[in-house]
Amino acid sequence: MTTAKIDGVSVTTQANVYFDGKCVSHGITYPDGTKKSVGVVLPATLTFGTAAPEIMECVGGSCEYKLAGSDTWVHSGPGDKFSVPGNSKFDIRVTEAYHYICHYG
């Protein structure tokens, strides 16, 4: 079951554009101050760095990801989540599109 919508939040109108537009996200803030983002990665192979720990939740499409220190690409599809430590990085490769919610902390 994927999370199709998120209710009762504040949306930052300006998008975050990474890697020349291969990743675009919009920030959302919950009433309690919790911040997340909703975004999409377009076909590409990219390396993302993390500051805070992140949980990536797939809400559409799919990707393969490889965490720092691992040699294994892992598939992630709708409803799947994966965790990335803080101050780390991960590789992601996408062949169609990967729609996600990024949960921090």
11 binds a copy of itself (CB under 8 A): yes
* Binding string, residues 43-62; x marks residues near a copy of itself by CB under 8 A: ----------------xx--
| CB-based contact 9:28 (threshold 8 Å) | yes
What are the Cα distances from residue 58, in Å, to 1, 33, 78, 101?
10, 23, 5, 7
HSE-CB for 61 with a 13 A CA cutoff: 16
Identify the CA nearest to 36 among candidates 45, 24, 28: 28
Name which position in 9, 46, 55, 67 contacts a copy of itself (CB under 8 A). Answer: 9
Residues touching a copy of itself, count (CB under 8 A)? 31
20 binds a copy of itself (CB under 8 A): yes
CB of 47 to a copy of itself, least distance (A): 19
Burial class (CB in 10 A: 0-12, 13-18, 19+), 11: exposed
39 binds a copy of itself (CB under 8 A): yes
The residues that touch a copy of itself, with contacts defined as CB under 8 A, are 2-15, 17, 20-22, 24, 26, 28-29, 38-40, 42, 59-60, 97, 99, 101
